[in-house]
């Protein structure tokens, strides 16, 4: 078994079947991969949708497991334990992929044994039809996972790394840097994160490499509620909370460096906000400032009144 596609899910019944179909309908031979579907205590019809796919596609190797320890990192680690493949491909449970998705990863890792991980574009698919005018590049990546670094394969530029919902690793990565930190990542309805960044920072410290592959495309579904302010506030605050936990786990100096970088980010945010105001986009300016404020509050562990 060459590829293991790992899908970790919690209450995503409306998306599961179409995601699985997009994988099965791709151009990669079905005997070249398995799908490990990790149900993290879903209470909706997600399991029934996975079973429906299994009945409709008996020639696809679908391994269904249930992880009872709540949290995305627990589910991701369970996927590693259950997978048979040498290449582990994580795919978000509320997305679809293009037809060349699996073949792109398979060809790349076969041709580049020196590369440890890879990731592809993440393109938002707005369920309401259009992108709101207040959206900016930075907020788009935050809310939708948007990731695009052009149409050429290359190492991820700067401090960037693959998005967690579209990332492939050699199994040896986890043997070298360890599993996902279960104190980080989403847990039930919590929007915490940081577990992906933690893995890629450990990989960087170990001298490991990861590439951007433009032909492995994931389309991330964005329902209307994700564009509303309550979700925006929860998500941005959770980023700060997660960064506080992640850097403190490394040590006090890492946390202090993160606080200093937050000051730099504030300078950039204010410059961008002024630019939005000058181009008559006050809603975009407000979102940028609110984004930075909520992240900072989480980073400092500040108590704030919601709403």
Domain count of the fold of the chain: 2
**273 close to 285: Cβ distance less than 8 angstroms:** yes
Listed residues 173, 207, 227: the one ending a domain = 227
198 lies in some domain: yes
306 lies in some domain: no
> Within this chain, do residues 240 and 103 fall inside the same structural domain, yes or no?
no
> Within this chain, do residues 64 and 175 fall inside the same structural domain, yes or no?
yes
305 lies in some domain: no
Listed residues 181, 207, 227: the one ending a domain = 227
Q: What angle do CA 84, 89, 94 make, to 5 degrees?
A: 125
> Within this chain, do residues 265 and 169 fall inside the same structural domain, yes or no?
no
**112 close to 209: Cβ distance less than 8 angstroms:** no
> Within this chain, do residues 190 and 243 fall inside the same structural domain, yes or no?
no
Q: Identify the domain containing residue 276 by its residue range.
A: 236-300
152 lies in some domain: yes
> Within this chain, do residues 199 and 268 fall inside the same structural domain, yes or no?
no
Q: What is the mean pLDDT of the chain?
A: 93
> Within this chain, do residues 11 and 61 fall inside the same structural domain, yes or no?
yes
Structure tokens at 177: 């840097």
Digit-by-digit pLDDT tens for the chain (307 residues) are: 489 999 999 999 999 999 999 999 999 999 999 999 999 999 999 999 999 999 999 999 999 999 999 999 999 999 999 999 999 999 999 999 999 999 999 999 999 999 999 999 999 999 988 899 899 888 898 889 999 999 999 999 998 999 989 999 999 999 999 999 988 877 777 666 778 888 999 999 999 999 999 999 999 999 999 999 999 999 899 889 989 988 998 999 999 999 999 999 999 999 999 999 999 999 999 999 999 999 999 999 987 554 4
**126 close to 140: Cβ distance less than 8 angstroms:** no
> Within this chain, do residues 175 and 266 fall inside the same structural domain, yes or no?
no
172 lies in some domain: yes
Residue 183 has what pLDDT? 83
> Within this chain, do residues 93 and 142 fall inside the same structural domain, yes or no?
yes
Listed residues 196, 227, 258: the one ending a domain = 227
Residues 30-74: tens digit of each pLDDT: 999 999 999 999 999 999 999 999 999 999 999 999 999 999 999
Distance CA 104, CA 184 (A): 30
> Within this chain, do residues 205 and 277 fall inside the same structural domain, yes or no?
no
> Within this chain, do residues 71 and 168 fall inside the same structural domain, yes or no?
yes
Three-state secondary structure of the chain: CCEEEEEEECCCHHHHHHHHHHHHCCCCCHHHEEEEEEECCCCCCHHHHHHHHHHHCCCCEEEEEECCCCCHHHHHHHHHHHCCCCEEEEECCCEEECCCHHHHHHHHHHHCCCCCEEECCEEEEECCCCCCCCCCHHHHHHHHCCECCCCCCEECCCCCCCCCCEEEEEHHHHHHHCCCCCCCCCCCCCCCCCHHHHHHHHHHHCCCCEEECCCCCEEEEECHHHHCHHHHHHHHHHHHHHHHHHHHHHCHHHHHHHHHHHHHHHHHHHHHHHHHHHCCCHHHHHHHHHHHHHHHHHHHCCCCCCC
> Within this chain, do residues 120 and 76 fall inside the same structural domain, yes or no?
yes
Residue 197 has what pLDDT? 85
> Within this chain, do residues 222 and 83 fall inside the same structural domain, yes or no?
yes
């Amino acid at each position: 078994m060459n590829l293991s596609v790992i899908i970790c899910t919690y209450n995503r019944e409306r998306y599961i079947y179409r995601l699985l179909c997009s994988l099965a309908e791709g151009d990669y031979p079905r005997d070249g991969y398995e799908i490990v579907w990790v149900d993290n205590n879903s209470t909706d019809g997600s399991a029934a949708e996975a079973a429906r796919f299994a009945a409709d596609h008996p020639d696809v190797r679908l391994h269904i497991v249930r992880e009872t320890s709540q949290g995305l990192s627990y589910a991701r680690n369970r996927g590693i334990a259950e997978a048979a493949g040498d290449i582990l491909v994580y795919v978000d449970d509320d997305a679809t992929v293009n037809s060349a998705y699996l073949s792109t990863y398979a060809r790349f890792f076969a041709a580049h044994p020196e590369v440890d991980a890879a990731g592809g574009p993440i393109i938002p698919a707005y369920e309401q039809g259009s992108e709101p005018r207040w959206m900016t590049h930075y907020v788009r990546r935050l809310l939708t996972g948007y990731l695009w670094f052009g149409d050429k394969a290359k190492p991820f530029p700067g401090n960037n790394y693959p998005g967690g919902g579209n990332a492939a690793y050699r199994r040896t990565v986890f043997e070298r840097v360890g599993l996902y930190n279960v104190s980080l990542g989403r847990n039930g309805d919590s929007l915490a994160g940081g577990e992906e960044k933690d893995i890629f920072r450990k990989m960087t410290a170990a001298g490991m490499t990861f590439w951007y592959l433009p032909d492995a495309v994931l389309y991330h579904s964005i329902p209307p509620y994700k564009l509303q302010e309550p979700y925006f506030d929860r998500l941005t605050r959770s980023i700060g909370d997660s960064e506080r936990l992640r850097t403190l786990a490394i040590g006090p100096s890492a946390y202090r460096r993160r606080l200093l970088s937050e000051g730099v980010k504030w300078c950039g945010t204010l410059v961008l906000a002024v630019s939005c105001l000058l181009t008559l986009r006050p809603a975009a300016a407000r979102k940028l400032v609110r984004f930075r404020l909520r992240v900072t509050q989480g980073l400092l562990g500040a108590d704030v009144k919601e709403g």
